[in-house]
Structure 1
Amino acid sequence: MAQDQFTPGIVAGRIESQALSEGFADLHPPLDAHEALVAADRCYFCHDAPCVTACPTDIDIPLFIRQIATGTPDAAAKTILTQNIMGGMCARVCPTETLCEEACVREVAEGKPVLIGQLQRYATDHLQEQGTHPFTRAAPTGKRVAVVGAGPAGLACAHRLAMLGHDVTVHDARPKPGGLNEYGIAAYKTPDGFAQAEVDWLLQIGGIEIHSASALGRDVTLEALRSEFDAVFLGMGLGGVNALGAEGEDRAGVGDAVSFIAELRQASDLANLPVGRDVVVIGGGMTAVDAAVQAKLLGALNVTLVYRRGRERMNASRFEQDLAASKGVRIVTHAVPKAVIGNGAVREIEFDYVDDAMQPTGETLRLAADQVFKAIGQTLEGDGLPELERGKIKVDATGATSLPGVWAGGDCALGGDDLTVTAVAEGRDAAMAIHSALMR
């Protein structure tokens, strides 16, 4: 959010460069070769491993860990990437503590799981650093597929289709491909330009053409894509932001967390990025935590994350909640915004405390605020889309929509849990369904 005459409290340079560099350094420094071998040695290589069942992309986790343990990390990477072509990003941003690592037998027995996420990163990084791509395209099929959205779902779909021999054209509304991996994830989770490096590596498969700054509805229509291509995959995510429903939410200083994170991710110098002194983030998911932690790292004096339910109901994992608290973010629960107070710009925000049934208790809370970020969910935008249900595109088990020849996946489609790894799985599976339909 840019500073203007109505938001004097939102300024740049609240913290010195050294502290910025330290705060935004890699959240989980990578394992070295010895550390990877030690971590891999803890795996029991279970038959019918529960960690595989817990992985949305069904990676053969015991196999890739065994491959690391036997000194073949590139083979391990191919095992991972065969199921999840964005395994490098997922190793960084997946809530492994509530997925594969929570199901790990070591976690159940000892409270200390095998470091599956960090081992996955070790293997995929090792392969990508070689600059080679482990997959090759099949013979050309002569079929053309349009993909809308260059995020995890769209790129996973495009890669699998290209690998199967189809020609793929990707349209994305943003200036750069990557979707939320590039624009919507905390910078300390994916430092050093990893998101774009992974996209560049993925495109080495060939057969994928990306049209950036090309938005559905503005620059291209679904009707035109359906007439020009043999199939269409929709993976454009969610472009709108839910309103607070609180009086005065249009005051200066009130913005959405997604835009804040995107601006931060694209900033060439974080020292020039303005942030408030008293920041309030409203929401309970990963985006809310990412916004709150990064506001604190930029030098905000007081950052409060406010959620309408209890901590056990937050979509952000316990690890993310604890990370926020460790960085000095205050977490307030069972409170809903009532009014944004100020003369032109926000100065305070008032909340009603609510019980578990979301009924007001009669108590209120006022927080000083010169910057407020909404992180209460996003909405699907667009005209001429397939049938919707509960605000998202209705799909069947293969990702097929109500329109013949059109599939969808990722955040814009009904189902899933708004995770990068789930979006990848949906894009991959839709690609297989599209391939089957085209080759029938």
Structure 2
Amino acid sequence: MAQGQMVPGIVSGRLSSDELTSNFTDLHPPLAAHEAAVAADRCYFCYDAPCVTACPTDIDIPLFMRQIQAGQPEAAGETILAQNILGGMCARVCPTETLCEEACVREAAEGAPVEIGRLQRYATDSVMADGAHPFVRAESTGKTVAVIGAGPAGLACAHRLAMLGHEVVIHESKPKPGGLNEYGIAAYKSTNNFAQAEVDWLMQIGGITIETGSVLGDTISLEGLSENYDAVFLSIGLAGVNALRAGGVGKDGVRAAVEFISDVRQTGDLTDLPVGRNVVVIGGGMTAVDAAVKSKLLGAEHVTIAYRRGRDAMGASRYEQDLAASHGVKIMTNVQPVAVHGNGAAAEIELEYTSSEGGQLTGTGEVIRLPADQVLKAIGQTLEGAPEGLTLDGNKIAVTGAGRTSMAGVWAGGDCAAGGEDLTVTAVAEGRDAAMDIHATLTA
């Protein structure tokens, strides 16, 4: 982000190396063995466990709790990974507070759920630390499948197909595999290069080749892939960023929050990363929170999340909102951007207060200006580069069943496909289920 260095107020090295290292340590340190045993012992081992129903990947949570309680964390990890091959990352980034833990009977009875997410991390980390891959490839089917995109959906699909005996080639446009796990997850949630370590571990199944720099619509085409492979799975994510309808958005200092987050993840030295003194993040989802908290951790003095609707409508969970507040981030609701002001570079942002009646959002005419030398747009992403011939549902690829598109022999899953929440765990489930449907089709 060399350009950022030229914008007044956006500078690197606001904090020392030691301060930055401390700021970007693990958000939730791993459980020790005794802590895990005590935490697992709180599980009621429900027969018809609501936590399992709430998990998009249908992990048998009571079973892996019993296995931890019995001193068998590796067995617990295998139980998890059999359903969610990226269970390690999901344990770190999944909004468990609104999924399995919110459904936990302990939460309903006591307001304190079993720490399912941290226990899942303990179990999956135990398996990965062991070194040996717990799954074995079936005999070769002689079939080859192309997976476009090495994000969570693509990796989950590829692993399951490889395990079932198919040969898989993953075509990835970026230099590294991992998708949002590598480029879009807050650095304090995934430390020590975990995303790449998880990919390396997943690849131990064999039968999977990753080709980076392989861009759909440029170096490869859907037509060509369909001719050369027995099936194609699209997991191309959402590469575009929705437009911010406000004046002055082309000024220096205004950029997409996902780009900012990616810079933090990929930098070799946090002291080299520029950040504003007064940062305003537009949006109300997880990306907005991640960008805002990262800005604070990098040394920004004032960070504000500006969201156009009320707090209850924010995409970020209340836990994530409280996390932002705990780091000194101010959350302003019912405000929408009108214009970014400044002489070539951002200096202030003008916001208009909003009201909502019957779901219709309107501006009140009352405005406020905030100092803003850096404005980060976190207002949602959009599909780019969808191949011609595929039916779309809104701005995503239309699918039926387990990810079947309108084109024979082509499946899709993850953020690019319609239906489901844009979560890592949902993408894993869609990739896994599509793989099973592809396998059934190819072996029928």
Aligned to 1:399: 403
Alignment of 1:52-131 (within 5 A): 52-131=52-131
1:3 Cα deviation from its structure 2 partner: 3.6
User: Which residue identity does 2:109 align to in structure 1?
Assistant: A
Q: Secondary structure at the match of 1:281?
A: strand
- C-alpha contact 1:257 1:288 (8 A) present in aligned 2: yes
Tell me how far apart the structure 1 counterparts of residues 421 and 3 of structure 2 sit (CA, whole Å): 34
Name the SS for the 1:71 alignment partner.
coil
- In 2, distance between residues paired with 1:415 and 1:21? 39
TM-score, with normalisation over the residues of structure 1? 0.99
- Match in the other structure for 1:231: 231
**Paired residue secondary structure (2:168):** strand
| Structure 1 residue 380 corresponds to structure 2 residue 367 | no
> Could you tell me how far apart the structure 1 residues matched to 2:219 and 2:315 are?
34
Instruction: Work out which of the residue numbers 369, 374, 388 in structure 1 matches 2:372.
Output: 369
Match of 2:361 among 358, 361, 372: 358
Deviates more, 1:385-394 or 1:91-100: 385-394
Runs of 5+ in structure 2 lacking a partner? none
* Offset at residue 8 of structure 1 (A): 2.0
SS of corresponding position for 1:355: strand
Q: What CA deviation, in whole Å up to 9, does each residue of 1:179-232 have, x standing for no partner?
A: 000000100000001000000000000000000121111111111100000000
8 A Cα contact 2:5 2:274, kept in partner:
no
Distance 2:5 2:99 in 1: 46
**Against the structure 1 CA distance between its residues 259 and 5, is the aligned structure 2 distance closer, same or farther, given a 3 Å change threshold?**
closer
Who is 1:423 aligned against?
427
Alpha-carbon shift at residue 298 of structure 1 (Å)? 0.2
Find the partner of 1:438 among 408, 427, 442. 442
**SS at 1:359's partner residue?**
strand
Q: How much has 1:6 moved relative to structure 2? A: 5.0
CA contact (8 A) 1:6 1:345 kept: no
Aligned pairs for 1:242-391 (under 5 A) are 242-356=242-356, 357-385=360-388, 386-391=390-395
Question: Structure 2: which amino acid aligns with 1:272?
Answer: D
Q: Aligned in 2, Cα 1:3/1:14: closer, same or farther, shift over 3 Å?
A: farther
1:48 maps to amino acid:
D
The CA distance in 1 between the partners of 2:309 and 2:2, in whole Å, is: 31
Alignment-mate amino acid for residue 406 of structure 1: V
Cα pair 2:26 2:191 within 8 Å, conserved? yes
SS in 2 for 1:361: strand
Question: Equivalences for 1:77-226 in 2 at 5 Å?
Answer: 77-226=77-226
After TM superposition, the structure 1 stretch with the greater mean CA deviation from structure 2, 335-344 or 161-170, is 335-344
RMSD after superposition: 0.9
Task: Give the whole-Å Cα distance in 2 for the aligned partners of 1:391 and 1:232.
Answer: 20
**What CA deviation, in whole Å up to 9, does each residue of 1:318-357 have, x standing for no partner?**
1100000000100000111111111111111111111023
Counterpart CA distance in 1 for 2:183 and 2:420 is 20
Q: Counterpart of 1:381 in structure 2: which amino acid?
A: E
- Contact kept? 2:4, 2:253, Cα under 8 Å: no
| AA matched with 1:412 | C
The separation in 2 between residues aligned to 1:230 and 1:211, in whole angstroms, is 18
> How far off its partner does 1:384 sit?
2.5
Consecutive unaligned residues in structure 1, runs of 5 or more: none
Q: Is the 8 A contact 2:305 2:331 kept in 1?
A: yes
Structure-2 change in CA distance of 1:5 and 1:181 (3 Å)? closer
- TM-score of the superposition, structure 2-length normalised? 0.98
Counterpart CA distance in 2 for 1:157 and 1:187 is 25
Q: Write the distance in 2 (CA, Å) between the matches of 1:4 and 1:287.
A: 20
Deviations 1:34-64 (A, max 9, x none): 0000001100100000000000000000000
Q: CA deviation at 1:4?
A: 5.1
AA aligned opposite 2:329: V
Per-residue deviation at 1:365? 1.5
State the match for 1:33 in structure 2: 33
Q: Which amino acid in the other structure matches residue 55 of structure 1?
A: C
Q: In 2, distance between residues paired with 1:10 and 1:36?
A: 43
